[in-house]
Structure 1
Amino acid sequence: MIVFRYLSREVLLTLSAVSAVLLVIIMSGRFVKFLAQAASGALDPGSLFLIMGFRLPGFLQLILPLGLFLGILLAYGRLYLESEMTVLSATGMSQQRLLAMTMVPAAGVALLVAWLSMSLAPQGAMQFQLLLNKQDAMTEFDTLEPGRFQALNDGTRVTYTETMTDDRANLGGVFISQKNLGQNQKDRGISILVADSGRQEVRPDGSRYLILENGYRYDGSPGLADYRAIKYDTYGVMLARPDISEEVTDRDALPTSSLFGSPELRSIAELQWRISLPLLVFIVTLMAVPLSRVNPRQGRFLKLLPAILLYMAYLTILISARGSLEKGKLSPTLGLWWVHGVFLMIGLGLLYWEPIRLKMKSRRGQKELARG
């Protein structure tokens, strides 16, 4: 029991440290991406941390298996390097017993990953998509920031305001540039609106208007001397009415209960993927225990790179098989299970190869002694 607690503590501590580092790296990259979208006006800056919170379960369900794999390699590699595993082996600790002890914390990690993949990650993905739907339905007033040019409609419209009130109802120093994408050359060009002030007006029927006051409108085509200037006291522009969609189409956002019994290949592939993540934990544990065995003279990092390449091959083939299943290139019966079967056999081969090799070497030595 003391040895079990010691080994479990070493594995879990290393798992926590490695997973924390991986989580910070991945979330930092995604945060920079969302920050760039917020800077361009595609996202509300105030919702960035909420978005990251919704995406956190999806990150963790992929990070934890890798964190456990690296945690076993690093923790047990240190024990081999410091000859602690040699002492344990001398007291009867076999590879099979070491694997059995390691499977206990691995089972806890697998249960956590199952909870994330089956429940929390789909809920987070659903809330994330609903939030994006709301972001898409926002008007320029909801995402506009004073003192910054904001591109909308794939860059065909650029809006700028010098000042804005806290309630986002009134603007000052307004500039709007709109590309005209007509069928004829005559209908093409740009329209530029400048105004001293502007305000948002909502009519009783729900329609929204941008009311500009005391400004000019310029219409024409760049490079041609056909510009027309119009001075106005009041100018109204109708804004697109927000259309918040409640439909969830992302496969990651579908509830797990809705995937059972579905004949669609997309749903079958998603269900098998969610089940595969907990299975991944057990199989990578089976591979990590024999791979962590190192010679103290060789260093603890000798097998780290090949082990990581093996893990990446496992995950890459699993993702590829998922795509093939969605496209109908794989039978749903075969599905993703053959990938787990292949790497299960690899793990068993790694586990039993060393004892078999030592027995064969011992027999050869005995035969040589008998001949001598």
Structure 2
Amino acid sequence: MKIIEKYITRELLLPFFAVISILVGLFVSFSTARLLTSAVTETLGMVVMLQLVMLKTIIALEVLIPISFYAAVIYGLSRLSRDQEMNIFRSVGFSDYRILYTVLMIAVPVGIISGALSLYVRPWAYAETYILDAQAEAELNASRFQAGRFYGSEKSGRVIFVQAKDDSGTRMEEVFHFTKKAGISEIIVAKEAVQQQQISLEQRPHTELFNGYIYRLAHPEGKDSAIQYEKMTYFTENDQVKWHRRKAASTRMLWESERPHDIAELQWRLSRPVATILLALIAVSFTRVAPRQSKSDKTFLVAAIVFAIYYNLSGLAQTWVEQQVVAAIPGIWWLYLLLFIIAGLLLPGLRQKLLRRQ
């Protein structure tokens, strides 16, 4: 790599690492604050909360990497242009095409990293996150309760009491569990309960109850009932199992599926490297500043608006595929074809070449 190309590479990578560090720091701070307010530390402990923050950050990298490189290209090339360094490069024969080529040589590896995260690392992170979330939200999660205290939820209408717990924290004694829904009150009491750990998404969180009773109280009309049991398995209700499986599904599984939701998820993952490269090309077009003229504030404002429009359209395109408003082909790819056309028209060298041909 020649001196000028190395210099431009450095001027792009330094702000890239700076921007992504700032965004990751902000995301970690936001995620930590959100989990603290949801009382996850009381449910699963500080260590698990930190694991959740790490996993959510890994998931977010597929978005943070493209926007960080997008901002880095705008900042780096704008500074070079503002300080007249671009004019010096051109005066020694370093054309706009070579500048664009240098940006692409960086954008392609960054896009590959973003794509690898989206295709392989992100599904694993989602799977681990859902397992931890399911454990945290389990109604009879032994880790949530201290012995000798009542726990209630206005949202679900539950009241839970545990008389004692063993040292492992998974075995409970003298359990009382009250729920009220659909006009029926249900009381479950058990001499002993053992929480079973969830080790995969296919396994639903559950607790095994021993030697107890189930009382169902129908009101204002109906018959009450009482059932005695020696062993009962209590499963946690989960209305989002399908959503979880799709987000955590392997890329190969999505590739073989013909369901619209799976197709939309697969196309989203495949689009990450494409988005990174096309956004970098569009970013190059924002960086031509006239001599002795600074318009950095305006440049970043327009660039931010463009990215916001793209990000909202990408979510809309995925939703259209999920809802079968748009077929699997073109799927979400119409948006990236549009980005490619915009990039081609905005890039000065390509635009001038097209005009000369006309």
TM-score under structure 2 length normalisation = 0.76
Once residues 312 and 239 of structure 1 are traced to their aligned partners in structure 2, the CA distance between those partners, rounded to angstroms, is 55
1:66 matched residue in structure 2: 67
2:304 matched residue in structure 1: 308
1:258 matched residue in structure 2: 253
Q: Which amino acid aligns with 1:288?
A: A
The verdict on how the C-alpha distance between 1:182 and 1:93 changes in structure 2, with shifts beyond 3 A counting, is: closer
Structure 1 stretch 310-319 or stretch 141-150: which is displaced more? 141-150
Q: What is the count of residue pairs matched by the alignment?
A: 325
1:53-132 map, 5 Å: 53-132=54-133
Local SS of the residue matching 1:25: helix
Structure 1 stretch 96-105 or stretch 125-134: which is displaced more? 125-134
Question: Residue 43 of structure 1 contacts residue 135 of structure 1 at CA under 8 Å; is this kept in 2?
Answer: yes
The verdict on how the C-alpha distance between 1:294 and 1:151 changes in structure 2, with shifts beyond 3 A counting, is: farther
Once residues 9 and 317 of structure 1 are traced to their aligned partners in structure 2, the CA distance between those partners, rounded to angstroms, is 32
1:351 matched residue in structure 2: 347
- Report the CA distance between 1:147 and its aligned residue: 10
Bigger radius of gyration: 1
Once residues 93 and 150 of structure 1 are traced to their aligned partners in structure 2, the CA distance between those partners, rounded to angstroms, is 70
Q: Does 1:278 align with 2:273?
A: yes
The verdict on how the C-alpha distance between 1:338 and 1:249 changes in structure 2, with shifts beyond 3 A counting, is: closer
Question: Residue 269 of structure 1 contacts residue 326 of structure 1 at CA under 8 Å; is this kept in 2?
Answer: yes
The verdict on how the C-alpha distance between 1:36 and 1:149 changes in structure 2, with shifts beyond 3 A counting, is: farther
Local SS of the residue matching 2:152: strand
- Residues 5-59 of structure 1: per-residue CA shift (max 9 Å, x gap): 1111111111111011111222322222222223596655441111122222211
- Report the CA distance between 1:142 and its aligned residue: 1.6
- Residues 117-171 of structure 1: per-residue CA shift (max 9 Å, x gap): 1100011111212222333446253212589874347352355899988554899
The verdict on how the C-alpha distance between 1:57 and 1:238 changes in structure 2, with shifts beyond 3 A counting, is: farther
The verdict on how the C-alpha distance between 1:288 and 1:206 changes in structure 2, with shifts beyond 3 A counting, is: closer
Local SS of the residue matching 1:4: helix
1:322 matched residue in structure 2: 318
Question: Residue 209 of structure 2 contacts residue 234 of structure 2 at CA under 8 Å; is this kept in 1?
Answer: no
Local SS of the residue matching 1:259: helix
- Report the CA distance between 1:89 and its aligned residue: 1.6
The verdict on how the C-alpha distance between 1:177 and 1:331 changes in structure 2, with shifts beyond 3 A counting, is: closer
Q: Which amino acid aligns with 1:12?
A: L
Once residues 260 and 182 of structure 2 are traced to their aligned partners in structure 1, the CA distance between those partners, rounded to angstroms, is 42
Once residues 202 and 267 of structure 1 are traced to their aligned partners in structure 2, the CA distance between those partners, rounded to angstroms, is 36
1:1-372 map, 5 Å: 1-38=2-39, 44-137=45-138, 139-145=140-146, 150-152=151-153, 154-158=155-159, 167-168=168-169, 183=183, 206-208=208-210, 241-243=233-235, 249-250=243-244, 251-295=246-290, 296-352=292-348, 356=352
Once residues 270 and 111 of structure 2 are traced to their aligned partners in structure 1, the CA distance between those partners, rounded to angstroms, is 10
Local SS of the residue matching 1:275: helix
- Report the CA distance between 1:352 and its aligned residue: 2.8
- Report the CA distance between 1:268 and its aligned residue: 1.2
Local SS of the residue matching 1:260: helix
Question: Residue 69 of structure 2 contacts residue 280 of structure 2 at CA under 8 Å; is this kept in 1?
Answer: yes
- Residues 313-337 of structure 1: per-residue CA shift (max 9 Å, x gap): 1121111011001101002111111
Question: Residue 96 of structure 2 contacts residue 349 of structure 2 at CA under 8 Å; is this kept in 1?
Answer: no
Local SS of the residue matching 1:333: coil
TM-score under structure 1 length normalisation = 0.73
- Report the CA distance between 1:181 and its aligned residue: 5.3
Question: Residue 35 of structure 1 contacts residue 45 of structure 1 at CA under 8 Å; is this kept in 2?
Answer: no
The verdict on how the C-alpha distance between 1:95 and 1:239 changes in structure 2, with shifts beyond 3 A counting, is: farther
Question: Residue 137 of structure 1 contacts residue 242 of structure 1 at CA under 8 Å; is this kept in 2?
Answer: no
Question: Residue 248 of structure 1 contacts residue 254 of structure 1 at CA under 8 Å; is this kept in 2?
Answer: no
Question: Residue 95 of structure 1 contacts residue 351 of structure 1 at CA under 8 Å; is this kept in 2?
Answer: no
Local SS of the residue matching 1:139: coil
Once residues 342 and 289 of structure 2 are traced to their aligned partners in structure 1, the CA distance between those partners, rounded to angstroms, is 18
Once residues 43 and 168 of structure 1 are traced to their aligned partners in structure 2, the CA distance between those partners, rounded to angstroms, is 11
Once residues 159 and 257 of structure 1 are traced to their aligned partners in structure 2, the CA distance between those partners, rounded to angstroms, is 42
Once residues 145 and 3 of structure 1 are traced to their aligned partners in structure 2, the CA distance between those partners, rounded to angstroms, is 64
RMSD in angstroms over aligned alpha carbons? 4.0
The verdict on how the C-alpha distance between 1:288 and 1:15 changes in structure 2, with shifts beyond 3 A counting, is: same
- Residues 71-90 of structure 1: per-residue CA shift (max 9 Å, x gap): 01111111112111121121
- Residues 156-204 of structure 1: per-residue CA shift (max 9 Å, x gap): 2355899988554899xx9x89575573xxx88x99xxxxxx995669x
